[in-house]
Amino acid sequence: MEVLAIIPARGASQRLSRKNLRLVASAPLIVHSIRHARRSRLVTRTVVSTEDPEIATVSREAGAEVIERPPDLASETASSESALLHVLQHLARTENYRPDLLVFLQCTSPVRKPDDIDKAVQCLLESGADSLFSATASTWLLWRSVGPWAESFNYDYRQRKREQDMGSEWRENGSIYVFRPWVLLEHRNRLGGKIAVYAMDYWSSFQIDSPEDLELCDWILRRQQIERRLEALPERVTAVVFDFDGVFTDNRVLVSENGAEAVICDRADGLGLDRLRATGIPVVVLSTETNPVVAARCRKVGVECQQGIANKLDALRRFASERGISLSDTVYVGNDLNDRDCLAAVGCGIAVADAHPLVRDQAAIVLHAEGGRGAVREVCDLILERLGSRA
């Protein structure tokens, strides 16, 4: 089944300038929706529709395809449906690509649980609906203005109900829409035919349209990230294995005229590693490079180092076997494609913030810090928090 996720993202925003590129929980707003779509088991293709070159660049770096939106479909008055139609018709015309289902994600709703998209798709399929919207249960007592006065319209104020006695009412939260392509083509609308609802929790009910919304969603996402990161770690961490280049360093190298190399590391990593080793957890660096600078840094921070490794997974298995350690209780931290096998083999794979997109997608945890800029310290602090050993 072909499931196409479309994420419209205009460059202009009247209420909050450059909204889709604003940082929320350390990532541009649009990146959250791209990551959600790419991590879905059921979404087979993720496309961003934009007229903005900067949004296009950020979207591609996050792993999405980009289809350029005509300027007239990116105006303040242009509907989201017009952008969705443009993508659908463009792919049909240029590739003869016709998906079975469309998933419409709005950037302004960045709070979703990891399985929300898949559950929404399954809800539509199992219910036999033609379209679906995500919503939050509502027990609000609502009024509307009629001339200079107000009247209640979802309850009778003369027979006031308790909130728990209100009927099944839903407030559209704007996060996820799933529909069959014919609904959009025939109705020019994201909803039509038999309409189902996918329930999301209270914390997923907020949309970003103001600086206050931005601050609130940032807090929600950071709170959820902390909880999910701690849950992703093995209950009993028995070893931590690091790649070196791009994890201990920023993946750049300084080369002198005589060929000597130097790298940039973060001083804070040393204290984090000292505290982690104090717990008795073995720490090792596995590096494909054979370079004195790797050995020097590892010696400085007191970490075992294995260099010149052609196959990291074989080396990881040997290390675990020699120490009597289970890979399911091991944490591996990497940044590039040659780390993917190790990330998949251990109990918890961790990627630095600037890791390759395929590595970030595979990792159970994506750090806030980039390689060489506190990533190692963040891993140490996270594991110590999991162990309940806070400084």
Q: What is the pLDDT along the chain (391 residues), one digit of tens a residue?
A: 999 999 999 998 777 889 999 999 989 999 999 999 999 999 999 999 999 999 999 999 999 999 999 999 988 889 999 999 999 999 999 999 999 999 999 999 999 998 999 999 999 999 999 999 999 988 788 899 999 999 988 888 888 877 777 767 899 999 999 999 999 999 999 999 999 999 999 999 899 989 999 999 999 998 888 888 888 899 899 999 999 999 999 988 888 888 888 888 999 999 999 999 999 999 999 998 888 888 999 999 999 999 999 899 999 999 999 999 999 999 999 999 999 999 999 999 999 999 998 999 889 999 989 999 999 999 999 999 888 843 3
End-to-end CA distance of the chain: 50
pLDDT, residue 60, reads: 95
The per-residue DSSP string of 199-247 comes to EE-GGG----SSHHHHHHHHHHHHHHHHHHHHHHS-SS--EEEE-STTT
Non-local (6+) Cβ contacts of 237 within 8 A are 281, 329, 330, 331, 348, 383, 386, 387
| Gap between the Cα atoms of 319 and 317, Å rounded | 5
pLDDT, residue 389, reads: 44
| Gap between the Cα atoms of 297 and 266, Å rounded | 11
| Gap between the Cα atoms of 190 and 226, Å rounded | 34
The DSSP H or E segment spanning 48 is strand 45-50
Q: Which of 138, 118, 137 is nearest to 178 (CA)?
A: 118
pLDDT, residue 261, reads: 82
pLDDT, residue 390, reads: 38
The 8-class DSSP code of residue 328 comes to: G
pLDDT, residue 359, reads: 93
Looking at the DSSP bridge assignments, the partners of residue 350 are 333, 365
Non-local (6+) Cβ contacts of 386 within 8 A are 230, 233, 237
| Gap between the Cα atoms of 239 and 326, Å rounded | 9
| Gap between the Cα atoms of 165 and 139, Å rounded | 9
pLDDT, residue 391, reads: 39
The SS3 call for residue 134 is strand
Contact of 249 with 298, CB cutoff 8 Å: no
Q: CB-side exposure of 89: number of CA atoms within 13 Å?
A: 12
Q: What residue ranges define each of the domains in the chain, with the CATH number in brackets? A: 3-229 (3.90.550.10), 236-387 (3.40.50.1000)
